[in-house]
Amino acid sequence: MFRIKDALRALSIRWVISILLLVQFTYGLSTIAGTGNIFFNLHYLKINSVLDFDSTYLVVPGRITNGLQDERYTKEQVEEIYNKLKNHKDVISFGTYYADNIVLDTKTHPLDSRLIAEFTKTHVGFNDPFINTIVIDENYYRLLNLKLSSGHGFSAQDFRKNSTQEANILAGSYFKKYYKTGDLINDQYRIIGFLPDKYIVNNNTSNVYLKLDKAMILPMPEDRYNDYNLMLSRLHLTTILKLRPGANLEQLTQIIQFPGDDVKLSLRNLGEDIRHNIADNTYSEIPQMVLGLSFILFSVIGIVVTTMVSIMIRKREFGIKLALGESTLGIFSQITIENVIIGITGIGLSLVHFMWKYKRLLQFSREMNLASPLDLKMNGSILIIIFLVFMTIISISSFFVYLFLRRQELKSLIGGME
Amino acid sequence: MMELIKLIDLKKIYSHKYNKTFALDGINLSIKQGELIAVMGPSGSGKSSLLHILGLMDSPSEGEFLLNGKSLQQIKKHKVHKTRNQMIGFVFQYFALLKDYSVIDNVTLPLMYRKSRHKERIAKAKLYLEKVGLKEHIYKKADELSGGQQQRVAIARALVGEPELILADEPTGNLDRRTGEEIIDILQQLNSEGKTIVIVTHDLEVARKCNRIIELIDGKIHTDQFTKSL
């Protein structure tokens, strides 16, 4: 305890140096928090897809200027395209989905206030809580690599219901806090299992994806599946193909393209998309990373130099303490405690700075829960990264300070008294 | 009287590129418990080197140093600070107080490193501050006191750990004559209570109040006189 008291006293005496170190820690760790977030997200994108990277292809429309002209084509034509895909030698399987939002019924069902707060996404203009939902057809369900335990997945029957009937759903892991298997949401959606903490494509044209932890997956009701307009829309916007290696993409593109359609469709490989996304963000993040690494380097140098200077300035104090029976290790502990106090204060301030600087982005990330490089957050993983950086700085700088301190002779420190 | 310190052919040598300097050159010395010794000598005579070695702040290059019958070589390097803390109290010319600390915080420092309990530390510090006449100043900052008062605080700090030996380096060197005399009176009083005290001084008046005067010249003991019997 007396060492902490001593350290605080010493820090207040050398307050200019303390503030300089504090500023360095604050901005440095804040930068590390930002860069850490991005690299954490890139890593998350790399390993957490429920769709296989190499075999998954997304049907992507070109610019849609006049809307989808449903009157020009027929349901039979759409079904013919799907039949051709089904029989094509390069196609392993294919499926379709659509994104939906399920508004939580808070009027007739009292819900936990934390659950309501979590799903009320004010920045998108909704005052009622809603859950991001992906509605998938039976084929798409088979495409997904969900690894659910037996009895906790959809059956063929789940895809034979219509949209007004009770439906089985798979809920994100977040819902485990409030629901258990068999519970009903809104009196209509029965939870039959929980999803892994991975992400799913929720928009073929975007390079951000939906995290499943706070989302739900619903089987597509038969009436929606067979609705021509929805079918046409799904073909253009939300069709996913699983192809064999070396598939003839040109031929497949021709199959999915309606003759004379204004909207040009193409096939994009999911893995390629994500890898490009990762590579682009990695390159653009390199300057920040260099800044972060420089911070670590300069922090180590800063602490070592300021501590050495401080030791020289405080020769008298350390000399007296050593003469009175303090050990070199004790002096080293005190210096380390001083640096740790600054570092911990710096961590606190850097978190405040980070949350102030990225306030809107953090709110957006929290509400949208999308897998994207810019999905900034302040969670346990980021705190661990910051803490590890802090520990690295303290360990390396303490090592050099200890070497320096060991070389000091008591009689020379005592000399500083006269 | 029991022998507290014994130096046998003790040398402190500083080696440079082409020559060696003997700061202490074959010192043979025995200090018994309860002695009040003045160490005198011109600048460069080896007084400081001797004080550093006696205070376990430096180690001899050659010879043997026995403290309470135990050879210095028997004390492990990482335990020297403990021995220093338990056996030696220091009084310096410039008081060596931590000016940002209160009087009581300064005095309790040696006990802090001994990990004594808070209550015990405070009680002992108050006791010794009372002994040197500073009980009413315990919560003042060290630099709010006069030179004489600061030296008294330093003496209380040297005593608080109840060491066997007190080493005083020019304890009156930075004080006016009257205050200096008061300080020497306190040291004499402590000596009469049984403390062993070694004072390094240039002041013959101070030396005359000691019961033994050792004069060093060129790192050797030039004279070693007992002026009063113990």
Q: How do residues B120-143 score in pLDDT, each as one tens digit?
A: 999 999 998 998 888 889 899 988
- Nearest CA of chain A to the CA of B125: how many Å? 14
Same-domain check for residues A255 and A129: yes
Flag residues of chain A having pLDDT under 50.
Answer: 416-418
Distance CA B215, CA B213 (A): 6
Domain end residue (candidates: A207, A236, A263): A263
CB contacts under 8 A, B 94-133 vs A, are 94, 96-98, 100-101, 109-110, 112-114
pLDDT band for B115, please (50, 70, 90 cuts): confident
Residues of B in contact with A5 (CB under 8 A): none
The fourth-level CATH superfamily of domain B34-61+84-226 is: P-loop containing nucleotide triphosphate hydrolases (3.40.50.300)
Choose the mutation target among A5, A8, A15, A324 for the interface with B, i.e. most B CBs under 10 Å: A324
B57, B78, B96 ranked by CB distance to A411: nearest: B57
Query: What's the pLDDT at A66?
Result: 62
With CB atoms and an 8 Å threshold, state whether B58 touches A324: no
With CB atoms and an 8 Å threshold, state whether B97 touches A320: yes
Same-domain check for residues A108 and A240: yes
**Domain around A396:** 2-48+280-414
CB contacts under 8 A, B 157-186 vs A, are 157, 161
Same-domain check for residues A86 and A186: yes
Whether A58 maps to a domain, the answer reads no
Same-domain check for residues A73 and A177: yes
A148 shares contact with chain B (CB less than 8 Å): no
CB contacts under 8 A, A 48-87 vs B, are none
Same-domain check for residues A242 and A348: no
Query: What's the pLDDT at A58?
Result: 93
Query: What's the pLDDT at A190?
Result: 93
Query: What's the pLDDT at B220?
Result: 94
Residues of A in contact with B94 (CB under 8 A): 417-418
With CB atoms and an 8 Å threshold, state whether A324 touches B93: no
Query: What's the pLDDT at A416?
Result: 41
Same-domain check for residues A251 and A340: no
Whether A275 maps to a domain, the answer reads no
Whether A268 maps to a domain, the answer reads no
What average pLDDT does range B91-110 have in this prediction?
90
Nearest residue on chain B to A10, judged by CA atoms?
B100
Query: What's the pLDDT at A418?
Result: 40
Domain end residue (candidates: A230, A263, A296): A263
Nearest residue on chain A to B118, judged by CA atoms?
A2
What average pLDDT does range B207-216 have in this prediction?
92
Whether A269 maps to a domain, the answer reads no
Distance CA A97, CA A225 (A): 9
User: How many domains would you assign to chain A?
Assistant: 2
Query: What's the pLDDT at A417?
Result: 42
pLDDT band for B196, please (50, 70, 90 cuts): very high
Mapped onto helix, strand or coil, the DSSP state of residue B187 is: helix
Distance CA A166, CA A191 (A): 11
Query: What's the pLDDT at A125?
Result: 74
SS3 of chain A: CHHHHHHHHHHHHCHHHHHHHHHHHHHHHHHHHHHHHHHHHHHHHHHCECCCCCCEEEEEECCCCCCCCHHHCCHHHHHHHHHHHHHCCCEEEEEEEEEEEEECCCCCCCCCHHHHHHHCCHHHCCCCCEEEEEEECHHHHHHCCCCCCCCCCCCHHHHHCCCCCCEEEEECHHHHHCCCCCCEECCCEEEEEECCCCEECCCCCCCCEEECCCCEEEECCHHHHCCHHHHHHHHHHCEEEEECCCCCHHHHHHHHCCCCCCCCEEEEEHHHHHHHHHHHHHHHHHHHHHHHHHHHHHHHHHHHHHHHHHHHHCHHHHHHHHHCCCCHHHHHHHHHHHHHHHHHHHHHHHHHHHHHHCHHHHHHHHHHCEECCCCCCCCHHHHHHHHHHHHHHHHHHHHHHHHHHHHCCHHHHHHCCC
- Nearest CA of chain B to the CA of A14: how many Å? 12
B82 shares contact with chain A (CB less than 8 Å): yes
Whether A274 maps to a domain, the answer reads no
A11 shares contact with chain B (CB less than 8 Å): no
Whether A109 maps to a domain, the answer reads yes
Residues of chain B above pLDDT 70, percent: 98
ipTM, 2 decimals?
Answer: 0.90
B82, B96, B114 ranked by CB distance to A320: nearest: B96
Whether A206 maps to a domain, the answer reads yes
pLDDT of B143-181, one tens digit each? 899 988 998 899 899 889 889 899 999 888 888 888 888
Q: Residue B159: how many CA atoms within 13 Å on its side-chain side?
A: 24
